[in-house]
Amino acid sequence: MMLLLDSGNSRLKVALVCQDAAGVWQYAAEPVALTHDAVETELPTWVAERLAERLAEPSPAGLAAHVATQATASLALTGSLQGAIGVNVAGPQAAERIARALLPCGIGSIDWQIPGDATLGLRNGYRVPTQLGSDRWMGLVGIWTSVDVQTAPASGQQPRQLVNFGTATTVDTISPDGVFVGGLIVPGWNLMRDALAQRTAQLPTAAGSVLDFPADTHDAITSGSAAAQAGAVLRQWMIARARFGAPPALYITGGASDAVIAEIAQLLALTGVLVPLHRVAHPVLDGLRAVLRQRANHAIGA
Ligand SMILES: Nc1ncnc2c1ncn2[C@@H]1O[C@H](COP(=O)(O)OP(=O)(O)O)[C@@H](O)[C@H]1O
Ligand SMILES: CC(C)(COP(=O)(O)O)[C@@H](O)C(=O)NCCC(=O)O
């Protein structure tokens, strides 16, 4: 079993995966999102509980408590974890905290991924490839390779766009021939509203509705933030459609997706083209799964 980590600016997303008979790394449990403040207490417990469930050991709660409080986990647990691979955009302190939290689970080091020129046939068009956020890159690898996305695939001629409504909002485009051609970084849904509340004298932290013609302060801020988020998506979608001559397939992810997805759908409907919005739960973790698979294939010479 391997541990996958997606350390974003707000939350750490974690998954345990194991290889099936076909060599595909499958989720062994539903991935979880933890705040960074909770990593030291909750991460080792979560890992131990999931491992214990998988190994069908008795008293998972007891084992979890053992791992959380002791310097070393039971041999059966630690022995079943082969390692940890991840991406981190939350800074070195977050990485250290995660590494410390995983020591009792038998993880001595984490294989943090950095974007390169190409991964699994997807080419990185960033001017300095390593400057691209590793979560953005791994998310793109995820929608480029994921089995789950094959259920809602882009045709070979279609560009693909991954929109991540996280702490920041990113809107990234893959050309039909497999090049990440660039993308937007926009203040995220909550950052936008927080910035207005913190940097103006009169504006509150808004709790309004998204309306066409907002007529009070809360609705005006909420609608304005949703419009800015959706406007960024629509801009990239229209530009990519013009550039590649085909409507991009849109993949939506991130903690704040629910707040804005209806606004995007409404704006896209105004374009007169039917554009399905594909929700993807864990594109970054999916990308990491694909990287693991590639490594295994290389190891056996496939
Ligand atoms: N139900 C929700 N509605 C709106 N925003 C949410 C909701 N749940 C989480 N968020 C926001 O989503 C962001 C975190 O999402 P996540 O995808 O984990 O981001 P990151 O990868 O940057 O850590 C935060 O800004 C958080 O406030
Ligand atoms: C753009 C991001 C802040 C998004 O982080 P997130 O909201 O997912 O936590 C992150 O991917 C990042 O720090 N990127 C480095 C700069 C770049 O991608 O150009």
- Does ligand 1 come within 6 angstroms of the Cβ of 133? no
pLDDT in tens, the chain (302 residues): 999 999 999 999 999 999 999 999 999 999 999 999 999 999 999 999 999 888 875 544 555 555 554 434 455 566 789 999 999 999 999 999 999 999 999 999 999 999 999 999 999 999 999 999 999 999 999 999 975 454 455 667 899 999 999 999 999 999 999 999 999 999 999 999 999 999 999 999 999 999 999 999 999 999 999 999 999 999 999 999 999 999 999 999 999 999 999 999 999 898 888 888 999 999 999 999 999 999 877 766 55
How is residue 142 written in tokens?
A: 């995820």
Distance CA 185, CA 44 (A): 32
Atom 20 in ligand 1: which residue has the minimum CA distance?
8
- Among all bound ligands, the one having the nearest atom to the CA of 191 is 1
Tell me how far the alpha carbon of residue 50 lies from the centroid of ligand 1, in angstroms: 24
Looking at this predicted complex, what is its ipTM?
0.97
How is residue 293 written in tokens?
A: 């698979």
Please confirm, yes or no, whether 135 is among the known catalytic residues: yes
Atom 14 in ligand 2: which residue has the minimum CA distance?
133
Question: What are the structural domains, with CATH classification, of the chain?
Answer: 2-114 (3.30.420.40), 147-279 (3.30.420.40)
Atom 3 in ligand 2: which residue has the minimum CA distance?
168
Residue 224 corresponds to which amino acid?
A: G
Ligand 2 pocket test, pick from 9, 10, 89 with the greatest ligand atom count within 8 Å of Cβ, gives 89
Longest dimension (CA), the chain: 64
Measured in whole angstroms, the distance separating CA 12 from the mean position of its chain's CA atoms is 10
Show the 3-state SS of 141-202: HHHHHCCHHHHCCCCCCCCEEEEEECCEEEEEEECCCCEEEEEEEEECHHHHHHHHHHHCCC
Q: Looking at ligand 2, which atom is closest to the CA of residue 166?
A: 7
CB 168 within 8 A of CB 9: yes
Distance CA 117, CA 142 (A): 16
Query: Residue 16 contacts by C-beta under 8 Å, 6 or more apart in sequence?
Result: 1, 2, 3, 4, 27, 28, 29, 47, 50, 51, 54
How is residue 201 written in tokens?
A: 């004298």
Taking Cα atoms as reference points, which of 104, 71, 101, 64 lies closest to residue 86?
Answer: 101
- Does ligand 1 come within 6 angstroms of the Cβ of 188? yes
